[in-house]
């Protein structure tokens, strides 16, 4: 970590130290990759993906899903999720890339949008599940229990990249970025996602009776947080005069509520089939 040396920051220490984007550098003597900087951004995203896989793997038996099949599923949705996240961001920030098309492939600098990852990743996942003749709602419930802990961890990549922060603030938990103290919006979302993860685990274990409930609750509760936190951010993607993430959040909340109503009306067909014997779960 680097230390804050600017005059404005010297009067007050930030809640978190100003980060160094580089975690470590591969020694020069190693062929092909010698001298390559390994970024904290990539490390945090990787840890988030691993955590999401672990949760889905451990929870799979509670929905009578073969844990080994989870790996096949992840190997499909993760690459497409990353592609979707990048495409989504590039489409809404096209003016920043149209004169330098090579920069589209440089995700080491950041520029991934979670909504794009979810849209393409889950779409590909559902196509796989249809081909494998799996219960789609049970799998999607499993997916979002993993996704939310992955988000909680992955958001720290924004911290190390000094991006996705909020507007200026005097709050005691402000971080120092771009010459001023700002809202640590990455931290707000990370904490919310971690709490949401714990809630979904509890709900799945104690309250969930019908397939699809976890998915609807994820979209409603995550979108409530994202709507308000997005209003603080300085790097929002826009749809006309509206922040794109806020528009999607409102739509997601409405769809999540509609989904719960539909599930309630069709609950006899959507009862979760649990294994008879106790499973090793989290």
Q: Is a pLDDT exceeding 70 seen at residue 107?
A: yes
Name which residue leads in pLDDT, 151 or 8: 151
Q: Is a pLDDT exceeding 90 seen at residue 6?
A: no
Contacts of 262 (CB under 8 A, 6+ apart): none
Task: Kindly tell me the burial class for residue 162, based on how many C-beta atoms sit within 10 Å of its own C-beta (0-12, 13-18, 19 or more).
Answer: middle
Contacts of 210 (CB under 8 A, 6+ apart): 263, 264, 267, 270, 271, 272
Q: Once rounded to an integer, what is the mean pLDDT over residues 194-209?
A: 97
- Predicted pLDDT at 278: 61
8-state DSSP, 239: E
Q: Is a pLDDT exceeding 50 seen at residue 27?
A: yes
Q: Is a pLDDT exceeding 90 seen at residue 276?
A: no
Q: What is the pLDDT of residues 216-253, one digit of tens each?
A: 999 999 999 999 999 999 999 998 899 999 999 999 99
Instruction: Label residue 7 by pLDDT band (50, 70, 90).
Output: very low
What does the radius of gyration of the chain's CA atoms come to, in whole angstroms? 20
Cα distances from 148 to residues 61, 81, 181, in angstroms, run 19, 14, 28
Predicted TM-score of the model (pTM) = 0.88
Residue 270: name the closest of 210, 217, 207, 216 by CA. Answer: 210
Q: Is a pLDDT exceeding 60 seen at residue 212?
A: yes
Q: What is the pLDDT of residues 116-127, one digit of tens each?
A: 999 999 999 999
Name which residue leads in pLDDT, 35 or 189: 189
Contact 137, 270 (CB under 8 A): yes
Least confident among 112-116, 168-172, 181-185? 112-116
Residue 157: name the closest of 23, 258, 253 by CA. Answer: 23
Residue 211: name the closest of 63, 52, 67 by CA. Answer: 63
| Mean pLDDT for all residues in the chain | 91
Least confident among 47-56, 106-115, 135-144, 173-182? 106-115
- Predicted pLDDT at 70: 96
């Amino acid at each position: 970590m680097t230390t804050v040396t600017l005059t404005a920051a010297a009067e007050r220490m930030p809640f978190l130290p100003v980060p160094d984007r580089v975690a470590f550098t591969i020694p020069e003597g190693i062929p092909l990759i010698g001298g390559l900087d390994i970024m904290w951004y990539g490390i945090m995203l990787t840890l988030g993906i691993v955590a999401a896989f672990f949760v889905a793997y451990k929870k799979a038996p509670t929905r009578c899903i073969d844990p080994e099949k989870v790996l096949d599923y992840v190997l499909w949705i993760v690459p497409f999720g990353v592609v979707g996240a990048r495409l989504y961001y590039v489409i809404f920030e096209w003016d920043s890339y149209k004169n330098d098309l090579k920069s589209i492939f440089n995700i080491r600098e950041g520029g991934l949008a979670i909504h794009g990852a979810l849209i393409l990743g889950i779409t590909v996942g559902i196509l796989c599940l249809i081909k494998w003749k799996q219960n789609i709602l049970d799998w999607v419930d499993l997916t979002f229990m993993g996704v939310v802990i992955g988000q909680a961890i992955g958001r720290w990549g924004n911290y190390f990249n000094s991006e996705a922060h909020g507007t200026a603030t005097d709050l005691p938990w402000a971080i120092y970025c771009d010459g001023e103290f700002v809202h640590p919006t990455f931290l707000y979302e990370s904490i919310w996602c971690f709490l949401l993860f714990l809630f979904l685990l509890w709900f799945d274990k104690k309250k969930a009776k019908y397939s699809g409930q976890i998915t609807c609750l994820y979209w409603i509760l995550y979108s409530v947080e994202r709507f308000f936190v997005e209003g603080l951010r300085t790097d929002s993607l826009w749809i006309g005069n509206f922040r794109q993430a806020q528009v999607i959040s409102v739509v997601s909340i409405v769809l999540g509520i509609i989904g719960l109503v539909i599930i309630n009306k069709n609950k006899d067909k959507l009862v979760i089939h649990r294994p008879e014997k106790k499973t090793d779960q989290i």
